[in-house]
Each structure stands twice: as C-alpha cells, then as structure tokens.
Amino acid sequence: MVVGQTRRRGDVLVGAIYAAVLDELAESGYAGLSIERVAERAQTGKASIYRRWPSRLELALDTIDHTLPQLDELPDTGSTRDDVLIVMERIASVMRSPSGDAVRACFSPGADRELADAVRERLLAPRKAAMLEILRRGVARGEVRADAISARIAELGPTLLHGELLHRGQLTDDAVVEIVDEVVLPLLRRR
Amino acid sequence: MVVGQTRRRGDVLVGAIYAAVLDELAESGYAGLSIERVAERAQTGKASIYRRWPSRLELALDTIDHTLPQLDELPDTGSTRDDVLIVMERIASVMRSPSGDAVRACFSPGADRELADAVRERLLAPRKAAMLEILRRGVARGEVRADAISARIAELGPTLLHGELLHRGQLTDDAVVEIVDEVVLPLLRRR
DNA sequence: ATTGTAAGGAACGCGAGCGTTCTTTATCCT
DNA sequence: AGGATAAAGAACGCTCGCGTTCCTTACAAT
C-alpha cells in the first residue's frame, strides 16, 4: 500500500494496472512482460490481476485496447494537405508515447502472433480506413488522383513515421511535415 | 553429442552457435534470448559459449555481424529501375529469412539500445550508402532528379519493405515490384 | 605416440517469475 | 451500522535460466 490506508477498486484500479502494463511493455517488450512486475508497478497484488485476466496475452490486448487514444473525428478542412498533416501528427504523437512502444512490442519477434493479428485488426485497420476516407474526399475535390485510393498508399504515411523512428530513434514535428510534403503528397497528385 | 563421437571445434562450432542464436533471436526476440537454450540448440555446452563471449549482447551482435549476407557488389545495369529492383529484392530476401527476424528483434522495445545502435551503424548504414550510390548514378544518367539524393529517399524502399512485412505478415516478390514501380520510382523522376 | 587444449556435459547455489491459496481489512451497498 | 465484497500482500512449491565449476575425453599439434 502506498498512501495511508487507501485501497483502490474497480475502474481506478484497472486503470492503474493498464498504466503499469503499458510501461512494462514499453520497457521490456512482450516477451519480458511479467505479471509480478506489473503488480509491483501498479502497487497491487498479483491476485487482483489474475482475478480479471486469464493470461498475459489478454492483459496486453485489453491494455492496448483501452489505452490508445480514441480515433478523433476525421479532420475535414477542405485541403488534403491539411487533413493528412493533422492525421499524421496525431499518429506521430501516439507513436512517440509509451503506447507506441507497447504497440511496437506486439509486432516484434518473440511476441504472440495472435496478439499481433488482434492489434492489426482492432487498431491499425480503423486508422487505415480513416486515411482512405481523407483520400476519397481529396479525389472528390479533384486534388487527388483516383487510383491513389489503395491500401498501400493509405499505409504509406504511417509506415514512414515508423521507419523514421526506427532509423533515427526519434520523430520530430519537422520530420512529419517533410514526410508529408516530400513523399506522401507528391504521390497523391496527378502526374 | 549428436553423431557418434564427433566433437566440433573452432569455426565449425562457432558457426553452429551463430545459427542457434539466429534461430533463437527470430523465435523469442532479444529479451527472450537465453544462453541455456542457445547451447542446447547448438548441441554444445554453456561453457563453450561463455568461454568466447562475455555477454548476451556481444553474442547477439557478433552473430548478426557474421551471419548477414555480405553486401554483394552493386548492380550497374544502366537502368535505375533494374538497379533498384535488384537491390530491393536482395533486401527483401534477407528480411524474409531468420536473419531478418533477428535484426528486427534488435530494434524492439526490451532490446538493448546499444545493440540497436550498433546494428544501425554496422548494418543499415552500408546498405543505405549502396542505395544512394545507385541514385547518384541515376542522376548522372539524367533518369533521377538531383534532389532525390537524400537519406530519407534512400531509406524509403527498405522502410516500405519492412512496413509491408509488418502490415501483411508476408513479403511477396510481387509486392516488391509494386512498391518499386508505384512508390519509389515515381518519386525519383523529375516532376 | 604423447601431450596440451578445449569440447561436451552434469551439477552447483541463486534469483525471478509462475499461478495459487490464504489472511486481514478497507470500501461499498443497503 | 452491518454485511458482502474484493483489495493488498505474504507465502506456497515449482520451473527456468543464470554464471560457474568440475570431470572426462576427443581432437590437434608435435
């Protein structure tokens, strides 16, 4: 117990556990995620964790599900560049956070395939759909060529943000703007 | 001991250990890499490993250094598309192999920063330099616009291969060709 | 053929984490 | 206020890997 005689229950406790899992995932990866350390970090007992989740996998999955920022409503500024930039900056800020590390941990060798698949579907897919919708609006406006509507193009931006983080170890706002202006947008325009 | 009374020494033994480390890295990631399992997999004793490497980190690093295919000589077909395709296909085939998983394992949360930095420098940097050289030749021929000579453009191809693997869980030859023709080459041409 | 070296293995005590059980007691509900 | 619930935490026996030591014996060099 940490402070005086306080004893947390329900959502407050669950929230603290999520936070601990997130930090552990970011720090040690999925292979190194131990219930024991999660409990210690969240200042609770292992029993309170085992009571709620049957396995490490469920715990990790639930944590990511409940921790990632909700998808805000799509920007619709009337400018494809602005829309893309806004979405890319949102994605970048998640990638820079512990949540980003946690997600990356799910895709590394040593992690569970099931976990990776679940994260792909529940998490990456909706974000990809958002990007496609922005592209569609751009096509309607005549700013974007019609055959830019493809999975590969929708993934391009996020993929490059990820690559930037891997190659340089950091992801600055300037880099986000450069990626959008020098790579993503040129590929959207008519040739 | 595996076969009759054979006892391996020197380079043969070291090679078997490298192979085992590679498989373990691919299977369990860096966080899950244990000397005990490496020894078992290589059919040797732990002592033979501890005699040669002081730590897990050195072992992993040495393994990657000695296992990755050497950089072949640069293709120089006279066509930028062909040169890029050849290099991209080489990179793809490494990414698909256990070596690829092992390298990815070095960059995941839970792995050592030092390891990641070393791999970046010794491994990624020379490959990036190769791609830049190809671009330079393309510029000399007038096929490639001059300001495509940049780190970000050189990384673009490999980054997309990596992304393809993460998003789809596989990396087909068709995908490699599509990435080159639909993303990389269009960005190299004059506008 | 003899001898030095190191490979293959078994065993050591140690610590970390497993998943479970049990006790005490703070907190919530009526 | 009183009772039901579940949180905090200690302890259980267990497995896995650690890094080291030791012994036997195959191999290479002379």
In sequence order, what DSSP letters do the residues of B30-69 get, joined into one string? TTT--HHHHHHHTTS-HHHHHTT-SSHHHHHHHHHHHHSP
What is the per-residue DSSP string for A127-139?
HHHHHHHHHHHHH
* Contact state of B163 with A155 under an 8 Å Cβ cutoff: yes
pLDDT, tens digit, 9 for 90 and up, residues B33-89:
999 999 999 999 999 999 999 999 999 999 998 998 888 899 999 999 999 999 999
- pTM for this predicted structure: 0.90
Contact A142/A91 with Cβ under 8 angstroms? no
Rounded to 10°, the helix A125-141/A80-96 angle is: 160
Kindly state the percentage of chain A with pLDDT values over 70: 97
Residues in chain B closer than 8 A to A179 (CB atoms): 152
- Substitution target from A22, A97, A108, A113 for chain B, most B beta carbons within 10 A: A108
What is the per-residue DSSP string for A100-132?
HHHHHHHTSTTS-HHHHHHHIIIIIHHHHHHHH
Supply the mean pLDDT for chain A: 92
* Contact state of B28 with A109 under an 8 Å Cβ cutoff: yes
The predicted pLDDT at position A10 comes to 86
The predicted pLDDT at position B123 comes to 85
* Contact state of A109 with B120 under an 8 Å Cβ cutoff: no
The predicted pLDDT at position A69 comes to 87
User: B99 CA, D21 C1': separation in Å?
Assistant: 34
The pLDDT confidence band at residue B1, using thresholds 50, 70 and 90, is very low
Q: Would you call B109 helix, strand, or coil by DSSP? A: strand
The pLDDT confidence band at residue B141, using thresholds 50, 70 and 90, is very high
Residues in chain B closer than 8 A to A104 (CB atoms): 108-109
Mean pLDDT of A73-88: 96
Could you tell me how far CA B64 lies from the centroid of its own chain? 8
pLDDT, tens digit, 9 for 90 and up, residues A7-37:
888 899 999 999 999 999 999 999 999 999 9
